[in-house]
A and B are shown apart, each in its own frame.
Chain A
Amino acid sequence: MSEIRIVQNVLKHNDEIAAMNRQRLRDAGVFWIDLIGSPGCGKTSLLETTLRRLHGRIQIGIIAGDLATDRDAKRIQACGAKVVQINTGKGCHLDANQVRHALDEIDLTGLDLLIIENVGNLICPVGFDLGQDAKVGMFSVCQGDDKAAKHPHLVRAADLLILNKTDLLQHVRFHPVTFRDDVEKLNPDVAIMELSVTESRVDPWLDWLISKTAKAQAQTGNGSPEPTPLIQGGI
Chain B
Amino acid sequence: MHELSIARSLVGLVRDHAAEGMVVKSVHVRVGPLQAIDPGSMQLAWRAATDDTVFEGTQLSLVRVPWELRCRECGRGWSSENWSDPCTCGSCRVDPVGGDELTLVSIEVDETSTYSAPADAPRSVKPGQASKEIHRV
Contacts and interface: CB of A to CB of B under 8 A. Distances in A.
Interface of A: 1-14, 90-93, 95, 123-128, 149, 152-153, 156-157, 182, 185-186, 188
Interface string B1-19: 1100110011011000110
A217 to B, nearest CB: 31
Contacts of A91: 5
Contact of B105 (A5, A182, A185): A5
Contact of A4 (B34, B35, B109): B109
Nearest to A152: B83
Contacts of B135: 2-5
For A8, A95, A125, the residue with the greatest tally of chain B CB atoms inside 10 Å of its CB is A8
19 contacts: A1-B137, A2-B135, A3-B137, A4-B18, A6-B107, A8-B104, A10-B10, A10-B102, A92-B1, A92-B2, A123-B36, A124-B1, A125-B2, A128-B2, A156-B34, A185-B83, A185-B92, A185-B95, A186-B96
Given A127-B2, A127-B35, A157-B34, A10 B104 contact: yes
B25 interface: yes
B133 interface: yes
A188 to B, nearest CB: 7
B5 A12 contact: no
Contacts of A8: 13, 103-104
A4 B105 contact: no
Interface of B: 1-2, 5-6, 9-10, 12-13, 17-18, 25, 29, 33-36, 83-84, 92-96, 99-100, 102-111, 130, 133-137
A124 B35 CA distance: 9
A9 B5 contact: no
10 A-B pairs with least C-beta separation: A124-B2, A3-B137, A2-B134, A10-B102, A153-B34, A153-B36, A5-B106, A123-B36, A4-B107, A8-B104
A127 B9 contact: no
Given A14-B9, A128-B5, A185-B94, 10 more contacts: A2-B135, A3-B136, A4-B18, A4-B109, A6-B17, A8-B104, A11-B102, A127-B35, A185-B92, A188-B95
B96 A4 contact: no
Contacts of A2: 108-109, 111, 134-137
Contacts of A186: 83, 96
A9 B103 contact: yes
Contacts of A10: 6, 9-10, 13, 29, 102-104
A3 B95 contact: no
Nearest to B99: A156
Nearest to A151: B36
